[in-house]
A and B are shown apart, each in its own frame.
Chain A
């Protein structure tokens, strides 16, 4: 019944004169791309500005252990165990960073190696790992109407929280000491953002794929940074580039019969290279 909310969407897209528009799975995938791309493009601005690329990579890879936990717990859909584990990991990394015992990249590298190995060991027990390779490259065409509705809600909440924390995050990025003198609790905002990022990355993973999801966070923002002179332009370019790459990748992958996530990444990469040229020219 939730899916009946999507009836107008299906009616509208089916009327378009394209072959792909005739398929329900494509209409769902298109809607998912319209929600996921701006979300990743927006979060990417802070990931790039705050040098969190390695962290988001680690969160994606930790999904192996999240899936394994779901299998052990006997969950039909491992999404909840994946989210739970990603959040746990986020807190663990924040704790290690705060203790200051290890530099951030060393701490993240260690944690990532551990969680990937643990997940693979559990999932490969009995030689059954092939069942989970879908998570590696993702399956955008497996998106259901139900998924799309939940995704829309998630996007709404994430955007609201993102905007709420944005100024503090940027000030903390520029100068943590300056942020503290302004009583902007950038440490807390950073942790909240890391949790938000963990949830979004984990939710988008099954569709986009563990191997490529991080590129979708970083490429649009990196491209946007090449074009922007201020924060609003940075944000605008990043979201727009993410959307264009998402749509182009989805359509191309339909006709070329390729994995959608990776195709979107190539589209984003192409745009990034263009922005590099533009930057070199100016």
Chain B
């Protein structure tokens, strides 16, 4: 694979005028695991109102990049968050939608409980207050999931659970929304609906969204920007452009895709 040399990363072509609207910047992010670089000098700007899709093969460092953004693992380089007034908040609000397969569906926890344990410190086992219920309903309404408020989490379908988790990630409205393979194991029509919803919400709340996924065909329609990651950023830009890149086509065997 012919990677560009370090000093001239391919993504310098990103239009600089957008940086005034940057919500989140990652600069020079590096992570090593057992001496091997998992991420090497990754620069990523996430803009308000834009859906940035991070694509790459398994083991390319996508989930590691998400963990850096969430502050879960030590890394070199810097992550900065900006709020709507372009200030740097002390404790940025990050909306995070985990993979639904990683979610424990056994526990007798209702959707309302999920909001309660996330939002307040009053123990949910002693009941959930009316104001939290109102807040949960408000959040769920955004993703059309208010009917699910009293359902046990384990009885939700993959698509329903993702709408609930998205609603939770938007309560309170975050500085940035991060989704890690949100649609793995969800059927095709569920995916379409979910991405459409995400697209709509991103505009409505002027949200910076980072989405990690394999789902190239669907992402091509919904993402504003695509970033191809292979331990470093190989190329980035509008989806149509990135999907034309020979390196991306090779990695995802796209010649078979019309």
Write the residues of chain A forming the contact surface with B, with a CB cutoff of 8 angstroms: 42, 45, 49, 162-164, 166-168, 170-171, 173-175, 177-178, 180-184, 224-225, 228-236
**For chains A and B in complex, what number of residue pairs have CB atoms within 8 angstroms?**
105
Please determine whether A230 and B104 come into contact, CB atoms closer than 8 angstroms: no
B41 is an interface residue with CB less than 8 A from chain A? no
In the complex the two chains form, is A231's CB within 8 Å of B96's CB? Answer: no
Q: Contact between A167 and B126 (Cβ–Cβ < 8 Å)?
A: no
Report B-chain residues with C-beta under 8 Å of the C-beta of A184.
118
Q: Note all chain A residues with C-beta closer than 8 A to B72.
A: 177, 180
Chain B's nearest CB lies how many Å from the CB of A193?
13
Selected from B91, B103, B128, B150, the residue in CB contact (under 8 A) with A174 is B103
Cross-interface CB contact of B108 among A164, A166, A229, cutoff 8 Å: A229
In B100-131, the 8 Å CB interface with A consists of: 102-104, 106-110, 112-114, 116-118, 120-128
Among A162, A163, A168, A232: residue with most chain B CB under 10 A: A232
Which of A183, A224, A230, A236 is the one whose CB lies under 8 Å from B113? A230
Give chain B interface residues in 76-105, CB to chain A under 8 Å.
91, 94-96, 98, 102-104
In angstroms, Cα B110 to Cα A73, docked, is: 50
Residues of B near A174 (CB, < 8 A) are 103-104, 107, 109, 114, 117, 153
> Are B110 and A230 in contact, CB atoms less than 8 angstroms apart?
yes
Flag whether B148 is at the interface (Cβ < 8 A). no
Complexed CA–CA distance, A236 and B127 (Å) = 10
When the two chains form their complex, are residues B107 and A232 in contact, meaning their CB atoms are under 8 A apart? no
B10 interface contact, C-beta 8 A: no
Selected from A45, A163, A167, A225, the residue in CB contact (under 8 A) with B117 is A167
Point out which of B104, B107, B120 has the most chain A C-beta atoms below 10 A from its C-beta. Answer: B107
Given known contacts A181-B96, A229-B150, A175 and B128 CB-to-CB distance under 8 angstroms = no
Q: How large is the interface on B (under 10, 10 to 19, 20 to 34, 35 or more residues)?
A: 35 or more
Residue contacts A-B, CB under 8 angstroms, 20 given = A45-B125, A49-B109, A166-B124, A167-B118, A167-B124, A170-B109, A174-B153, A175-B104, A177-B70, A178-B165, A180-B70, A180-B72, A181-B70, A181-B94, A183-B91, A229-B152, A230-B152, A231-B116, A231-B125, A234-B107
Query: Quick check: A233 and B108 within 8 Å, CB to CB?
Result: yes
Contact indicator B152/A231 (Cβ below 8 Å)? no
Most chain B CB within 10 A, of A42, A168, A174, A236, is at A174
Q: Which residue of A lies closest to B95 (CB)?
A: A181
Which residues of B pack against A, CB within 8 Å?
70, 72, 91, 94-96, 98, 102-104, 106-110, 112-114, 116-118, 120-128, 150, 152-153, 165, 168, 178, 180
A173–B104 touching, CB < 8 Å: yes
Q: Tell whether A170 pairs with B124 under 8 Å between CB atoms, given A177-B96, A180-B72, A183-B91.
A: yes
User: Given known contacts A167-B124, A183-B91, is B98 in contact with A230 (CB within 8 Å)?
Assistant: no
* A163 close to B104 (CB less than 8 A): no
B150 — which chain A residues lie within 8 A by C-beta? 229-230
Question: A228, B116: Cβ atoms under 8 Å?
Answer: no
Q: How far is the CA of A184 from the CA of B113 in the complex (A)?
A: 15
CB distance from A225 to the nearest CB of B (A): 5
For the complex of A and B, 5 pairs with smallest distance between CB atoms:
A181-B96, A235-B125, A230-B110, A166-B123, A167-B117
Q: Tell whether, in the assembled complex, residue A230 and residue B96 are in contact, meaning their CB atoms are under 8 Å apart.
A: no
Q: Is the CB of A170 within 8 A of B117?
A: yes
Q: How far apart are A157's CB and chain B's nearest CB, in angstroms?
A: 15
Which residue of chain A lies nearest to B109 when distances are taken between CB atoms in the complex? Answer: A231
A162 to chain B, nearest CB (A): 8
What residues on B are CB-neighbors of A175 within 8 Å? 98, 102-104
For B178, list chain A residues within 8 Å (CB): 181
Are A178 and B109 neighbours in the complex by a CB distance under 8 Å? no
Question: What separation, in Å, do the CA atoms of A118 and B114 have in the docked complex?
Answer: 43
A232–B124 touching, CB < 8 Å: yes
